[in-house]
């Protein structure tokens, strides 16, 4: 995935419509949360195994696919507006996560690092 190219495409799309006036970081963060909630709505009453088999229901799968795209679009626009290099941010965060969740303590364990008994 070429994040910079996608961001450029999204930037051009917004520019053509004069939407930058609406795409403040605050508004984009709100839109991102709204889209994430719309994504959650598709999973709200599903059992665990039903959620894993979502691709078996073409209409539901298509709707979830679109919501995931919406979430990513707003995330990319937000990062672009804040000049955040997402690739760098992800690598940095993964380094921190590796320190917080060492394999010997985290493997097969869903307990958050700060809730483990010492």
**Do 61 and 8 fall into the same domain?**
yes
CATH of the domain at 31: 1.10.287.1080
DSSP-H helix ranges across 1-118? 3-16, 25-41, 48-52, 58-81, 86-100, 103-106
Domain span including residue 68: 3-84
Q: Are 73 and 3 in contact (CB under 8 A)?
A: no
**Do 77 and 92 fall into the same domain?**
no
Q: Are 67 and 39 in contact (CB under 8 A)?
A: yes
**Do 44 and 91 fall into the same domain?**
no
Residues in the chain: 118
**Do 36 and 72 fall into the same domain?**
yes
The token duo for 10 is 């999204």
Tens-digit pLDDT profile for residues 11-29: 999 999 999 999 999 999 9
Tens-digit pLDDT profile for residues 76-109: 999 999 999 999 999 999 999 999 999 998 899 8
Domain count, the chain: 2
**Do 42 and 97 fall into the same domain?**
no
């Amino acid at each position: 995935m070429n994040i910079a190219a996608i961001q450029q495409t999204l930037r051009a799309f917004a520019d053509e419509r004069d939407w930058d006036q609406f795409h403040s970081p605050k508004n984009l963060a709100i839109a991102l949360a709204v889209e994430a909630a719309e994504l959650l709505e598709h999973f709200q009453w599903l059992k665990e195994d039903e959620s894993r088999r979502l691709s078996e229901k073409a209409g539901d799968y298509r709707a979830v696919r679109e919501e995931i795209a919406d979430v990513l679009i707003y995330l990319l626009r937000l990062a672009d507006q804040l000049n955040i290099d997402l690739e760098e941010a992800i690598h940095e965060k993964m380094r921190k996560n590796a320190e917080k969740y060492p394999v010997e303590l985290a493997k097969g364990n869903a307990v958050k690092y700060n809730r483990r008994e010492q």
